[in-house]
């Protein structure tokens, strides 16, 4: 018997990561491939199957993690989830929700004891949650299924243990970066660490900027043109640029984002779009520093 890095004792041929569904949809191909490679690199066998799940296939297996690809709301019945939980009571179950399931998180009718991840968040999820769990048995997925976000916050605040960064965390307000002193000339001050581009709704832009200020990050709002103009006169590379483009089509926004990407090649650019699809993502693939985020967002 060998001890898996997660602390799970298993025989050489019994440790598996189960992936159910999603093989017939393009939106799940990239995350499934990444999870498959990660599992094999950690000595875990990925088992991929469709519904209806043959539970006999898992007989005698030690299931390290379960990933359910949800193509549409209600893909997995409560009966199926209960049977899965009875078979693997302590195994983390991840529901990878596709584009058609974006609104499901706001219904308040989600199955308990399951980690729900939107399909567009899969890269962050694999890096921040799944990889630490499969490698060292740490992070959100290491908590019992009954654990809530509050439990994760308590554990992550302790000095011991290797937990990934919290989505709602940030630097201490005492470490806030002052991007403009009262006596400095705005035309000469360095660009703020967080630059928010909000040409259509200034109030929304200020709300986004305020979120970053609460996390201890100096922020400033611009239009795309004013930010590009500031680039020519003010020093510094922002840590991040957040672009609110909910009122425009992705294709219409592409020329502006290309300009920002070229002007700030070392800066992460987050583009907020309303319910972007894979077709939208393809437009921005060549821009390696641009990430699409769906609105409503957290």
Residue 162 lies in a domain: no
Question: Considering Cα of 191, then 169, then 32, then 275, what sign does the dihedral take?
Answer: negative
> How many residues would you count in the chain?
298
Same domain for 132 and 177: no
Q: Which of 64, 72, 2, 10 is nearest to 35 (CA)?
A: 64
Same domain for 135 and 249: no
User: What would the pLDDT profile of 105-149 be if each residue is shown by its tens digit?
Assistant: 666 566 777 888 888 788 888 888 899 888 888 878 887 777 766
**How many CB atoms sit inside 10 A of residue 118's CB?**
21
Same domain for 209 and 139: no
Same domain for 183 and 66: no
Identify the bridge partners of residue 70 per DSSP, sorted by sequence position. 97
Same domain for 55 and 30: yes
Domain residues for the domain of 272 are 173-295
| Phi-psi label, residue 22: left if phi above 0, alpha if psi -120 to 50, beta otherwise | left
Question: The domain that contains 181 carries what CATH number?
Answer: 3.40.50.2300
Residue 168 lies in a domain: no
Among 126, 156, 186, the domain-final residue is 156
Residue 165 lies in a domain: no
Question: Considering Cα of 85, then 87, then 91, then 94, what sign does the dihedral take?
Answer: negative
Same domain for 193 and 105: no
User: How much is the pTM?
Assistant: 0.54
Positions in the chain whose pLDDT score sits under 70: 1-14, 103-110, 148-188, 199-203, 246-251, 295-298
User: What would the pLDDT profile of 91-109 be if each residue is shown by its tens digit?
Assistant: 899 999 888 887 666 665 6
Same domain for 177 and 152: no
Query: Which residue is listed with tokens 């983390």?
Result: 92
């Amino acid at each position: 018997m060998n001890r898996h890095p997660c602390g799970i004792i298993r025989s050489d041929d019994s440790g598996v990561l189960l992936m159910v569904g999603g093989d017939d949809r393009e939106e799940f191909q990239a995350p499934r491939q990444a999870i498959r490679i990660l599992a094999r690199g950690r000595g875990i066998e990925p088992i991929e199957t469709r519904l209806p799940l043959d539970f006999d296939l898992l007989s005698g297996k030690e299931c390290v993690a379960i990933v359910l690809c949800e193509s549409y709301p209600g893909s997995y019945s409560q009966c199926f989830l209960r049977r899965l939980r009875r078979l693997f009571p302590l195994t983390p179950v991840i529901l990878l929700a596709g584009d058609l399931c974006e609104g499901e998180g706001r219904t308040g009718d989600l199955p308990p004891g399951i980690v729900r991840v939107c399909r567009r968040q899969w890269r962050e999820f694999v890096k921040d949650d799944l990889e630490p769990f499969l490698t060292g048995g740490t992070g959100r997925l290491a908590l019992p299924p009954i654990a809530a976000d509050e439990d994760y916050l308590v554990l992550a605040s302790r000095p011991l243990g290797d937990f990934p960064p919290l989505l709602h965390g940030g630097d201490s307000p005492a470490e806030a970066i002052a991007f403009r002193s009262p006596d400095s000339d705005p035309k000469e001050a360095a660009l703020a660490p967080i630059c928010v581009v909000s040409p259509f709704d200034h109030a929304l832009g200020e709300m986004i900027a305020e979120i970053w200020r609460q996390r201890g990050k100096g922020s400033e709002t611009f239009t795309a043109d004013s930010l590009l103009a500031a680039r020519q006169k003010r020093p510094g590379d922002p840590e991040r640029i957040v672009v609110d483009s909910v009122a425009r089509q992705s294709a219409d926004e592409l020329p502006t984002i290309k300009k920002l990407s070229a002007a700030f090649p070392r800066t992460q650019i987050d583009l907020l779009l309303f319910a972007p699809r894979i077709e939208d993502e393809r437009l921005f693939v060549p821009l390696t520093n641009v990430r699409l985020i769906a609105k409503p967002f957290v």
